[in-house]
Structures are given as structure tokens and as C-alpha cells.
């Protein structure tokens, strides 16, 4: 497994192949003054219509950090195998993905106040099945606090793998 994450800086890392990740980052940068975090109210879904299936808007709580999925795109729902809108990360049982890893990535974005990009690769029985490329971009809420993020995940499956056969989450309980 070859997974990593790091701050986006001024551009998306060249190891990320996803045009969708680049498109969201460029859109996010276009929303505000360079070097500042834009307000959630500036996000126009019509301007990023082709990205909507892979997008999420999440709420990031102060410590202890909790991630609430405010809005979740249809491709993310297909990937997770359940509707996670309105749920918290800690309410999910995650099969192939580590809750601790996800929290670390979201904490990095929240604490740095800047986009975090990354790659998560997953293998089953020694074969690479899935590469997820993502970016998490902070947004200011109505009170001007960076308590939200717009997230894009792009799922790159190995040849012959059907996304529907890989549900990755279920609700606890």
C-alpha cells in the first residue's frame, strides 16, 4: 500500500493524476484572495457541476475532532455503499480504511488551515484494487471560522473491479 498526504501549497502534487482533484483545487483558489480561505457561501454548485458526484462538504468540530458529513455526492455514496450524509465519521464502521488515518488527514487540514491532498491505495490479497486521490479544502462558515471543508475523492479502480462490489462502510450499531 502506498498512501500519503501533504499540504497542497500553490499546486496539486504531480503524483496525483486526477483531473477532478486539480479542478476542485483551482476552483477553490478562484473563490478568494490568494493566501486566504474562502467562505462556504461563495461555493456555487453550478460552477462545479461535473465534480458534484465526487464532492463532500464536511463539518470539522473543535477538539475532540469529529467529522460530520453535511453533503455527500452520489459517487461517494456508491463507493461507501451507504448514505453517510448527516452522519459522523465515528458512527461508521470502516472496512478497508482506517478511521485514525482519516482523522489525521482532516486534523492536518484543520490545524494548518490550508488544503491537504493525498493518495490512499488499498490492496486485497496482495493485489492493488483501488487508488483514491483526494483533496480537502477549508471553508469559512457563516461566523468566519474555518469549521467546514469541501472534499473531493476520485476513485481509480484496477481493471475489472466493480465499485459496487466494494462497499467500504456501514453504520455502527
Q: What is the pLDDT of residues 146-159, one digit of tens each?
A: 999 999 999 887 65
CA–CA distance, 29 with 149 (Å, rounded to integer)? 13
CA–CA distance, 28 with 36 (Å, rounded to integer)? 10
Decide: 80 and 167 in contact? Cβ < 8 Å: yes
Q: What is the pLDDT of residue 83?
A: 92
Q: What is the pLDDT of residue 81?
A: 82
Please return the burial class of 20, using the count of CB atoms within 10 Å of its CB with bins 0-12, 13-18 and 19+.
Answer: buried
* Mean pLDDT score of the chain: 86
Q: Which range of residues forms the domain containing residue 41?
A: 4-171
Decide: 118 and 134 in contact? Cβ < 8 Å: yes
Q: How many domains does the chain have?
A: 1
Tell me the percentage of the chain whose pLDDT exceeds 70: 83
CATH number at residue 23: 3.30.450.20
Q: What is the pLDDT of residues 32-87, one digit of tens each?
A: 888 899 999 999 999 999 999 999 999 999 888 999 999 999 999 988 888 999 99
Amino acid at each position: 500500500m502506498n498512501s500519503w498526504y501533504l499540504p497542497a501549497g500553490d499546486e496539486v502534487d504531480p503524483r496525483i493524476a486526477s483531473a477532478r482533484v486539480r479542478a476542485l483545487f483551482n476552483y477553490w483558489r478562484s473563490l478568494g484572495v490568494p493566501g486566504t480561505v474562502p467562505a462556504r457561501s461563495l461555493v456555487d454548485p453550478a460552477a462545479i457541476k461535473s465534480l458534484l458526484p465526487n464532492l463532500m462538504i464536511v463539518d470539522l468540530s473543535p477538539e475532540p475532532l469529529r467529522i460530520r458529513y453535511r453533503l455527500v455526492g452520489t459517487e461517494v455514496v456508491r463507493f461507501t455503499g451507504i448514505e453517510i450524509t448527516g452522519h459522523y465519521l465515528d458512527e461508521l464502521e470502516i472496512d478497508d480504511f482506517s478511521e485514525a488515518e482519516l482523522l489525521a488527514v482532516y486534523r492536518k487540514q484543520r490545524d494548518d488551515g490550508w488544503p491537504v491532498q493525498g493518495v490512499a491505495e488499498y490492496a486485497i490479497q496482495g493485489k492493488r484494487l483501488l487508488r483514491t486521490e483526494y483533496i480537502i479544502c477549508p471553508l469559512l462558515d457563516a461566523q468566519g471560522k474555518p469549521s467546514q471543508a469541501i472534499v473531493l475523492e476520485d476513485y481509480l479502480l484496477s481493471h475489472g473491479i466493480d465499485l459496487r462490489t466494494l462497499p467500504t462502510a456501514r453504520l455502527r450499531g
